């Protein structure tokens, strides 16, 4: 998987700024970080459940 370099991230942020405007970007960032946080929590819960199931066997 290719990870963009510094110039790539600057370009992505510039395009996002043009598309959404400066007032909308903080809201989008909060929503994105909340989604990532919830995804990680679900993964850890799922991992914990699988560990418990293996211990029962």
pLDDT at site 53: 65
The single residue listed with the structure tokens 């989604």 is 35
pLDDT digits 0-9 by tens, 1-55: 788 899 998 999 899 999 989 899 899 889 999 999 999 999 888 877 766 666 6
Sign of CA dihedral 37, 43, 8, 32: negative
State the Cα–Cα distance between residues 11 and 43, nearest whole angstrom: 31
Predicted TM-score (pTM) of the model is 0.57
pLDDT at site 31: 94
State the Cα–Cα distance between residues 56 and 37, nearest whole angstrom: 29
pLDDT at site 40: 94
Domain extent listing, the chain: 22-57
């Amino acid at each position: 998987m290719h990870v963009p370099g510094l110039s790539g991230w600057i370009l992505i942020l510039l395009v996002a700024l043009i598309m959404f405007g400066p007032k909308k970007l903080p809201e989008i960032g909060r929503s994105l970080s909340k989604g990532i946080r919830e995804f990680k929590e679900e993964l850890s819960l799922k991992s914990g459940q699988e560990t418990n199931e293996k211990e029962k066997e």
